[in-house]
Amino acid sequence: MSLRKFEYFLAIAEEGSLSQAAAKLHIAQPSLSQQLRALERHVGGPLFERLSRGMRLTPTGRAFLPHARAAVRSADRAYGVARAVATGDAGEIEIATVSSIAAGILPQVLRTWHERRAGSAVRLHEFHHRNLLEQQVHDGLGDLAIGPRPSSWDGPVLSLGHEEFVVVLPATAAARHPGGVALGDLADRDWVLFGQEHGLNDLVHAACTLEGFQPAPAVRTWQVDAAARLAAAGVGPALLPDNALPAGLDAEVRPARPRLFRELTCYLRGEPQGLVREFVALLRQSPLGLRDHRPEGGRAIGLAPTDT
Amino acid sequence: MSLRKFEYFLAIAEEGSLSQAAAKLHIAQPSLSQQLRALERHVGGPLFERLSRGMRLTPTGRAFLPHARAAVRSADRAYGVARAVATGDAGEIEIATVSSIAAGILPQVLRTWHERRAGSAVRLHEFHHRNLLEQQVHDGLGDLAIGPRPSSWDGPVLSLGHEEFVVVLPATAAARHPGGVALGDLADRDWVLFGQEHGLNDLVHAACTLEGFQPAPAVRTWQVDAAARLAAAGVGPALLPDNALPAGLDAEVRPARPRLFRELTCYLRGEPQGLVREFVALLRQSPLGLRDHRPEGGRAIGLAPTDT
DNA sequence: GTCTAGGTATAGGCATTGCCTAAGTGAATC
DNA sequence: GATTCACTTAGGCAATGCCTATACCTAGAC
């Protein structure tokens, strides 16, 4: 049953002698003899022939040898790899997040991460709603979560700064909105909204409700960048986090008025270990490369448990 | 250190719960908890995260898992294979023999063996002298020896019958020797002999000495079938075991007069186990497919410790 | 033949390990 | 707030593993 017996067996096979193997293993010779006997009893036949000046493998022993070696090697590797991961030298981490962040901010961080630690892959889980994210991570999915501040959390929560929500309109509409865009001015437009159970949908609705209207849908989508492109194409205004806008979008992008912010955080179930600790440290150094707009001048949204 | 810990780890990872894994392993749950802790201490970090309703792999655990699985599999396989060999269901055996037998009789036996147990390969060690064979096998080479009866042996020795020595001459010489060929008649010929340290050389010399002459060499070889072909080509007479003659040899082959026999045996260092036992059983059933000539009417040679 | 040397097996003692039962803790649920 | 579920801690007991000392066997030397 014990790996030690395997190692003992290998040592005997290698040395061709019980006593020499015992010396190499730093144990007494009778102990080795005992262990070998036990192993042979378990196998059901002798593994070595006892010659007058040493031990020689029987056919049984020869058959046993390569697999025993493989077992010991695998075990060593298991310990080695696990230790490497535990100390943060290698491994793979799972990040759970909401889709707006996966599409928007994360790529920059992951590029930095990949440059620093080429060996360690990242697995990404995306959710469409902050509540779902929070619940799934709480239930054990992923090693860390990146998303809006969780509503109730007993593990560590690290603030990554705030992202601002912007209104996206066709490029031609630029002149009409030199500063920000008052949401109320768009009350009777048909909007580019998100799917009913998408976190950003709840959020847009909450913002509009505060301005005293319910946005009517021109179209609904589940893709953040699709929403941006639809708005740019003139389907209707969209309200999006600035960091989630696709690069090179041909559109007029203006802060909402009143200004709207959402705090982003990284949260975990427990104290981070190994690679996760490293990743969190990276986040702490450069908070997602986030353009952090202070929420002083504006309204912070996204704190109620029902939005993204 | 223990493989059991690996199995425990795998069970927990599979079940996602310590208590369920304990039930599956038929041990108490606290015992599992203890073992896991010990394993984690050894690895240097937690392998599982403790959630409120179960265990979840940490990145360390995820890294550990595949190697642990491989280790357990290899160990299982090691036991399985060894047991199979111990019971004679599979494996590989090493046979040590002298070259005249390897060239002559063994192929038939090995073909039968291969037909019966296609999975089990045979490794062959050939020696040029029975003394060398006996010494090497005594010192641990091979699982069994097939050769002339050993001069001093304390393990089992199984007689396989006798082979007769024949004189090989060119086909044209046939008429002159209707029955056997008296060695003395060839006393002044130049012989096809074997290398000085070859077992058959000693043997031919012993036989000729008994007839009162020393054979002069026309040529010396180390290959039994080369000797037969040289003799057939008329280089000189050769004295060979009949079973070692190559098939389809175009020559006159006659028994020596006086008739000369050599006993062949199978001998081992100890009681045969598993496959070796099977092989010995096969030998016992069909003694090498040997044409067994009774030595009654002739002289048995090859019993002194100096010939093959 | 006796003796010595090299190598493995057996015996008995002691510390460690592994498993058990019983009780404790913490979170989720009714 | 009581109950349930799941893991952890604590303490006892049997089994395992290693040790020293001794016995046994073979081979080689005197």
CB-CB neighbors (< 8 A) of A46 in chain B: 273
CATH assignment at residue B61: 1.10.10.10
- In DSSP terms, which residues pair with B166 in a beta bridge? B240, B255
Of A67-76, A160-169, A237-246, A279-288, the range with the lowest mean pLDDT is A279-288
Q: Taking the CA atoms of B108, B112, B118 and B119 in sequence, report the sign of the dihedral they define.
A: negative
| Residue A175, Cβ density class (10 Å: 0-12 exposed, 13-18 middle, ≥19 buried) | exposed
Residue A305 lies in a domain: no
Any chain B CB within 8 A of the CB of A46? yes
Q: What is the DSSP track for B75-124? A: HHHHHHHHHHHHTTSS--EEEEEEHHHHHHTHHHHHHHHHHH-TT--EEE
Nearest Cα residue in chain A from B272: A58
CATH assignment at residue B104: 3.40.190.10
- In DSSP terms, which residues pair with B162 in a beta bridge? B263
Residue B23 lies in a domain: yes
pLDDT at A263 over 70: yes
pLDDT on residue A35: 92
Residue B300 lies in a domain: no
CA end-to-end span of chain B: 52
Exposure of A124 in the CB half-sphere (CA atoms within 13 A): 15
CA distance A44 to chain B (A): 6
Q: Do B83 and A44 touch (CB under 8 A)?
A: yes
CB-CB neighbors (< 8 A) of A94 in chain B: 59
Whole-angstrom distance, CA of residue A142 vs CA of residue A151: 18
Q: B78 with B104, same domain?
A: no
Residue B301 lies in a domain: no
CATH assignment at residue B185: 3.40.190.290
Of A73-77, A88-92, B239-243, the range with the lowest mean pLDDT is A88-92
CB-CB neighbors (< 8 A) of B269 in chain A: 49, 51
Whole-angstrom distance, CA of residue B219 vs CA of residue B104: 21
Q: A188 with A137, same domain?
A: no
Task: Give the CA-to-C1' distance from A45 to C3 in angstroms.
Answer: 36
Q: Buried (b) or exposed (e) across B81-97, using 16+ Cβ within 10 A?
A: bbbbbbbbebbebbbbb
* H-helix or E-strand spanning residue A200: helix A199-210
Q: At what angle do helices B29-43 and B18-25 cross, to 10 degrees?
A: 110
Which residues make Cβ contacts (< 8 Å) with residue A181, sequence separation at least 6?
A: A167, A169, A237, A254, A255, A256, A257
Whole-angstrom distance, CA of residue A210 vs CA of residue A218: 20
Q: What is the DSSP track for chain B? A: -BHHHHHHHHHHHHHT-HHHHHHHHTS-HHHHHHHHHHHHHHHTS-SEEEETTEEEE-HHHHHHHHHHHHHHHHHHHHHHHHHHHHTTSS--EEEEEEHHHHHHTHHHHHHHHHHH-TT--EEEEEESSHHHHHHHHHTT-SSEEEEEPPSS--S-EEEEEEEEEEEEEEGGGGGG-SS-EEGGGGTTSEEEEE-TT-HHHHHHHHHHHHTT--PEEEEEES-HHHHHHHHHTTS--EEEEGGGSPTT--EEEEEEES-EEEEEEEE-SS---HHHHHHHHHHHHSSTT-----STTSEE-S-STT--
Residue A30 lies in a domain: yes
Judge if the upstream peptide bond of residue A59 is cis by omega within 30 degrees of 0.
Answer: no
Whole-angstrom distance, CA of residue A116 vs CA of residue B143: 57
Q: B177 with B50, same domain?
A: no
Q: A271 with A148, same domain?
A: yes
Give me B183's structure tokens. Answer: 């060695």
3-state DSSP call for residue A193? strand
- Mean pLDDT computed over every residue of chain B: 84
Please choose, from the candidates B218, B106, B205, the residue with its C-alpha nearest in 3D space to the C-alpha of residue B165. Answer: B205
Residues A41-55 have pLDDT tens digits of 888 889 998 887 788
Residues B89-109 have pLDDT tens digits of 777 888 999 988 877 778 888
Whole-angstrom distance, CA of residue A203 vs CA of residue A296: 19
Quickly state the pLDDT bin for A267 (edges 50, 70, 90): very high
Q: What share of chain B in percent tops pLDDT 70?
A: 90
- A/B interface, count of CB pairs below 8 Å: 175
Q: Of B57, B86, B115, which residue sits at a domain end? A: B86
pLDDT on residue A305: 36
Residue B97 lies in a domain: yes
Q: Taking the CA atoms of A203, A208, A210 and A213 in sequence, report the sign of the dihedral they define.
A: negative
Whole-angstrom distance, CA of residue B68 vs CA of residue B297: 69
Q: Do A44 and B270 touch (CB under 8 A)?
A: no
Q: A50 with A98, same domain?
A: no
- Mean pLDDT computed over every residue of chain A: 85
Q: At what angle do helices B59-86 and A59-86 cross, to 10 degrees?
A: 180
Exposure of B197 in the CB half-sphere (CA atoms within 13 A): 5
Residues B33-74 have pLDDT tens digits of 999 999 998 888 899 988 887 898 988 898 899 889 889 988
Q: What is the DSSP track for A68-133? A: HHHHHHHHHHHHHHHHHHHTTSS--EEEEEEHHHHHHTHHHHHHHHHHH-TT--EEEEEESSHHHH
Any chain B CB within 8 A of the CB of A123? no
**B287 backbone dihedrals φ, ψ, rounded to 5°:** -65, 75
Q: B216 with B252, same domain?
A: yes
Residue A232 lies in a domain: yes
Top residue of B64, B76, B135, B136 to mutate, by most chain A CBs within 10 Å, is B64
pLDDT on residue A302: 53
Q: A208 with A179, same domain?
A: yes
pLDDT on residue A108: 81
Residues B282-306 have pLDDT tens digits of 888 865 555 555 555 556 665 333 3
pLDDT on residue A97: 93
- In DSSP terms, which residues pair with A168 in a beta bridge? A238, A253
Q: B118 with B233, same domain?
A: no
CB-CB neighbors (< 8 A) of A3 in chain B: 1-3, 6, 71, 75
Q: Count CB atoms within 10 A of the CB of residue A214.
A: 9
pLDDT on residue B193: 93
Number of domains in chain A: 3
Quickly state the pLDDT bin for A237 (edges 50, 70, 90): very high
Residues B256-288 have pLDDT tens digits of 988 888 888 999 888 888 888 888 988 888 655
Q: B121 with B168, same domain?
A: no
Q: A52 with A20, same domain?
A: yes
Q: Which residues neighbour strand C (beta carbon < 7 Å)?
A: A 17-20, 29-30, 33-34, 36-37, 50, 52-55, 138, 154; B 1-2, 4-5, 26-28, 30-31, 34-35, 38, 52-53
pLDDT on residue B303: 39
Q: Which residue has the higher pLDDT, A295 or A232?
A: A232
pLDDT on residue A308: 42
Residue B299 lies in a domain: no
For residues B90 and B84, the answer to whether their CB atoms sit within 8 Å is: yes
Q: What is the mean pLDDT of residues B20-26?
A: 91
Looking at residue A105, its amino acid is I
Q: B171 with B252, same domain?
A: yes
Q: B173 with B251, same domain?
A: yes
Q: What is the mean pLDDT of residues A257-271?
A: 88
Domain holding B241, by residue range, is: 162-261
